Amino acid sequence: MNRLLFASLVLCLSGAQAAFLFPSQPEPAATSAADPGMQSYAEGVQALGNNHLLTAEDAFKAALKVNPRMVRALIGLADVALRRDDREQAKASLDKAVEIAPNDDTVQHALGLFAASGRDYPAAEAALRKAIEVNPANLAARNALGGLYAGAMQRPADAVGVYRAAIEVDSKQLEARLGLAQALAATGQFGAAETELTAATKAHPDSPFPPHLLGRMQLARGNTAAAAAATDAALKIAPDFVPALLDKGDVLLGAGKVEEALALYDRAIATDNRNATAQFKRGVLLQQQRRDAQARQAYLNVINIAPDFAPAYNNLAWMQAESGQQLDQAGQWAATAVKLEPNNPAFRDTQGWVYRAQRQFAEAETVLEKAATMPPPIADVHYHLGVVYVDQKKTDPARRAFKDALAIDPKHAAAAASLEKLGSQ
């Protein structure tokens, strides 16, 4: 029975990263030595781009000494604070920017990104819509709103409209066309999505993004040969393009070429060792191969890079429950996964299984009964609930749980065997 849980990854233009606030590079005037405030601001932008946070902070503060109403410097300070995971300080800087310029589209754009990073999606939507209303030419805000609809808010049809409107403003921009293709695919319009990506490939022959996303779309539809060809095209343009390396690894893994897939995941990590997705895929593959110590380290790398990456906590908890070791730590990991994604029944299933490993059968029963009521239906959840009922000698509920598992998956061998064993008692 395969209990490996893969992350549900939204198609994106780059690897997973924090939602930074800084909306754009400074205008040419910012580099003028005749304006000390703008010169400091430009230095802050450059330092921020290199992730030199202390230097950036000092430069933005210097700009504000010259001009205390420079809202972009305040946004820069908010960005520095957010990268330090200091949301309170980031909010204080943004609140000051809003107080100075409530109708500035750049301020509203940054406010929207900040709200989205804190999962306050209605507030993010409102701020981004206001940014667009103030300045319809703000393509970054339009694309951010499209991404919000397509991803966190799960409103791909709305994303289609936003991206189409962005393309009307500038028909040559790549990001909106890629976002549109992904949103179209999410609404089941695969032909239209492929048309957009094919056109984008021709219009931007030096970008690996269009063929990469075309390959990912083909892979999701089970067209492995087409996916491999598109991914190879992306890698021909950019040999170290991490998303394409990962997708090519997925193609090879699907074909049973485990070591070749692992080599590509390792190559992706060598290119970008802060890529949480690459580390996670490596962990899943190693877990499948029963190389538990290496898998555990890969998952630990994931949560070090991305502390909100719930599937890594879940898989760590499952491995420890199966091994029967470090069960207190397993319980903490399982609880973290559930806290991050409370509506995921698979994570609650893992939490219940950890409780069972700790011999806390009543707690396991409560958690698994809850998971069994949540969509989508998962055969393993009902099977595990049946096992916990058996542990407590609750024969009739166990029989019902095993039957429920088989109703979801008639080939669930463990549930069938358990049901047969109960029948012989």
Domain ranges of the chain: 225-303, 308-425
Does 23 have pLDDT greater than 60?
Answer: no
Q: Give the whole-angstrom CA distance, residue 111 versus residue 390.
A: 53
Q: How confident is the model at residue 21 (pLDDT cuts 50, 70, 90)?
A: low
Q: Give the whole-angstrom CA distance, residue 94 versus residue 111.
A: 7
3-class DSSP assignment, residue 156: helix
Does 1 have pLDDT greater than 50?
Answer: no
Return contacts of 407-416, CB within 8 angstroms, 24+ apart: 408/377, 408/378, 408/379, 408/382, 409/379, 412/1, 412/379, 412/380, 412/383, 413/1, 414/1, 414/383, 415/379, 415/382, 415/383, 415/386
Does 15 have pLDDT greater than 50?
Answer: no
Tokens of 145: 């709103």
Share of the chain above pLDDT 90, in %: 86
The residue ranking higher by pLDDT, 51 or 32, is 51
Q: How confident is the model at residue 423 (pLDDT cuts 50, 70, 90)?
A: confident
- Identical fold for domains 225-303 and 308-425, yes or no, is yes
Residue type, 3: R
Does 19 have pLDDT greater than 70?
Answer: no
The DSSP symbol for 86 reads -
* Sign of the four-CA dihedral 210, 211, 214, 219: negative
Does 16 have pLDDT greater than 50?
Answer: no
Closest CA to 166 of 158, 177, 156: 177
The class level of CATH for 225-303 reads mainly alpha
Q: Which pLDDT value is given to residue 33?
A: 55
Q: What is the mean pLDDT of residues 397-419?
A: 97
Q: Give the whole-angstrom CA distance, residue 177 versus residue 168.
A: 11
Q: What is the mean pLDDT of residues 124-142?
A: 97
Share of the chain above pLDDT 70, in %: 92
Q: What is the mean pLDDT of residues 72-76?
A: 95
Summarize pLDDT for 271-292 with one digit per residue, the tens: 999 999 999 999 999 999 999 9
Q: What is the mean pLDDT of residues 387-408?
A: 97
Q: Give the whole-angstrom CA distance, residue 268 versus residue 128.
A: 33
Tokens of 22: 């800084």
Q: Please state the φ and ψ torsions of residue 411, each to the nearest 5 degrees.
A: -100, 15
Q: Which pLDDT value is given to residue 222?
A: 86
Who's near 382: CB < 8 A, 6+ residues apart? 372, 401, 402, 404, 405, 408, 415
Give kind and range of the element (H or E) at residue 31.
none
Who's near 371: CB < 8 A, 6+ residues apart? 345, 346, 348, 349, 352, 378, 381, 385
Q: How confident is the model at residue 219 (pLDDT cuts 50, 70, 90)?
A: confident
Tokens of 285: 């593959």
Question: What's the whole-number average pLDDT of the chain?
Answer: 91
Does 412 have pLDDT greater than 70?
Answer: yes
Q: Which pLDDT value is given to residue 30?
A: 43
Instruction: Give per-residue burial for 220-245: e unless 16+ CB within 10 Å, then b.
Output: eeeebebbbebbebbbebbeebbbbb
Q: Which pLDDT value is given to residue 319?
A: 97
Q: Which pLDDT value is given to residue 35?
A: 87
In 158-256 the beta strands, taken as DSSP E runs, fall at: none
Cβ neighbours around 374 below 10 Å, total? 16
Summarize pLDDT for 310-342 with one digit per residue, the tens: 999 999 999 999 999 999 999 999 999 999 999
Q: Which pLDDT value is given to residue 6?
A: 35
Q: Which pLDDT value is given to residue 12?
A: 32
Q: How confident is the model at residue 17 (pLDDT cuts 50, 70, 90)?
A: very low
3-class DSSP assignment, residue 230: helix
The class level of CATH for 308-425 reads mainly alpha
Q: Give the whole-angstrom CA distance, residue 224 versus residue 412.
A: 27
Q: Give the whole-angstrom CA distance, residue 310 versus residue 266.
A: 22
Does 105 have pLDDT greater than 50?
Answer: yes
Provide the CB-side half-sphere exposure for 186 (13 A, CA): 25
Q: Give the whole-angstrom CA distance, residue 294 versus residue 309.
A: 18
Summarize pLDDT for 92-101 with one digit per residue, the tens: 999 999 999 9
Q: Which pLDDT value is given to residue 221?
A: 86
Tokens of 387: 């096992």
Does 202 have pLDDT greater than 60?
Answer: yes
